[in-house]
């Protein structure tokens, strides 16, 4: 095994000194870091896996066609899932309260609901 002598040994000792001063900083940084699931509830709520599965189920059930009142008789592809009775009015995520809806129709419906909620 080779040993360091001279200038290279001095540089090695100097770099070891720097490494020991970094250890406390790394330890405190580790205390502040959290996994995404612990930090912001990733995978929960409307963007989580259960919602994505329910959304796919509703879209498939409705044949990927818009089911809103304005589209009755028209054929529009549904991109989203809508609560028939909005959650803020007591609606649930039950499949019977969900329907496939076109993106533009959903935007118009959401605007009308927001206006109604503001009074």
Tell me, yes or no, whether 60 and 102 share the same domain.
Answer: yes
- 54 is a domain residue: yes
**Across all residues in the chain, what is the average pLDDT?**
78
pLDDT band at 110 (very low <50, low <70, confident <90, very high): very high
More confident site: 38 or 95: 95
pLDDT at 29: 47
- 1 is a domain residue: no
Give the distance from CA 78 to its chain's centroid. 21
Q: Domain containing 33: what range?
A: 7-39
pLDDT in tens, 15-51: 555 555 655 555 554 454 444 444 455 555 677 899 9
Tell me, yes or no, whether 52 and 110 share the same domain.
Answer: yes
Count CB-CB contacts under 10 A for residue 80. Answer: 17
| pLDDT for 70 beyond 80 | yes
Tell me, yes or no, whether 30 and 62 share the same domain.
Answer: no
CA 113, CA 119: separation in Å to the nearest integer? 10
R_g of the chain computed on alpha carbons: 28
**Residues 50-76: what's their mean pLDDT?**
93
- 14 is a domain residue: yes
Cα–Cα nearest to 83, from 70, 93, 75: 93
| pLDDT for 114 beyond 60 | yes
């Amino acid at each position: 095994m080779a040993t360091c002598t001279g200038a290279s040994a001095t540089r090695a000792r100097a770099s070891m000194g720097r490494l020991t001063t970094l250890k406390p900083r790394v330890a405190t940084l580790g205390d502040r870091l959290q996994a995404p699931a612990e930090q912001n509830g990733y995978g929960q709520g409307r963007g989580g896996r259960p919602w994505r599965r329910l959304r796919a189920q509703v879209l498939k059930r409705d044949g990927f066609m818009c089911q809103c009142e304005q589209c009755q008789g028209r054929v529009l592809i549904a991109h989203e899932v809508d609560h028939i009775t909005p959650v803020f009015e007591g609606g649930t995520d039950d499949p019977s309260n969900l329907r496939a809806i076109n993106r533009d129709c959903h935007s118009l419906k959401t605007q009308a609901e927001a206006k109604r909620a503001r009074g």
